Amino acid sequence: MAIIEELKEKTEQETEETPAADFFMGIVLMVLSGIVCTVAWSWPRPSGIASSAGLFPFLIAFSLFIMALSIFIHSFKRKGYRRFVALFGVTHLRESWTHGNLRLCLFSLMTVLVYLVVILNLLPFEIGTFLFMTAALYLYWKTKLYRILIVSVCVVAFYSISFKVLFKLVLPGVGM
């Protein structure tokens, strides 16, 4: 049955080893926790170390360092560094691009960034959201333009009326 296959696949995906990611995260977290430990230690201690503002962040960062180290060692034993380097190899990148995984990821990332960082900083909510939705639906939905325009207009009108008029909320965008 399709659903069971899907479930199996999901479970396998969740439980699969991720040495390359663990290698990367191990390093990032060790650096981050090291910085936090140093900064937290330097904060003022008006009534001793035991009740200082840095105590809890220090303890958390210190234990995070140990956990990150365990993940790093675990990934190192499974050749995480090699797999991590291989991720940036031409062969892997070309394969990901051909299969569409990388393209889909970059595409979705761009969609979100363009809307939140560019459009809402340049245009009022209604105009910006209408343009974004029309473009995004055109790219993802791939249907007739008049249907896309109808959906975009209806959604923008619904958001604008319900949030601005009914809920009296200020919407993001220029001229808010």
Residues 59-98 that bind other proteins (CB under 8 A): 60-61, 63-64, 67-68, 70-71
Residues 127-166 that bind other proteins (CB under 8 A): 129, 132-133, 136-137, 140-142, 151, 155, 159, 163
| Distance of closest approach, residue 19 Cβ to other proteins, in angstroms | 11
Closest listed residue to residue 175, CA positions, set 133, 122, 129 = 122
Residue (44 or 91) nearer to other proteins, CB: 44
Number of alpha helices (DSSP H) and beta strands (DSSP E) in the chain: 9, 0
Q: How far is CA 150 from the centre of its chain?
A: 30
Cα-atom radius of gyration of the chain, to the nearest Å?
A: 24
Is residue 54 part of the contact set for other proteins (CB under 8 A)?
yes
Contacts of 141-146 spanning 24+ positions with Cβ under 8 A: none
Q: How many other C-beta atoms lie within 10 A of the C-beta of residue 24?
A: 19
| Distance of closest approach, residue 169 Cβ to other proteins, in angstroms | 5
- The single residue among 18, 34, 78, 84 that binds other proteins, judged by CB under 8 A, is 18
Structure tokens at 81: 């560094």
Size of the site for other proteins (CB under 8 A): 74
| Distance of closest approach, residue 77 Cβ to other proteins, in angstroms | 14
Structure tokens at 131: 């343009």
Residue (76 or 163) nearer to other proteins, CB: 163
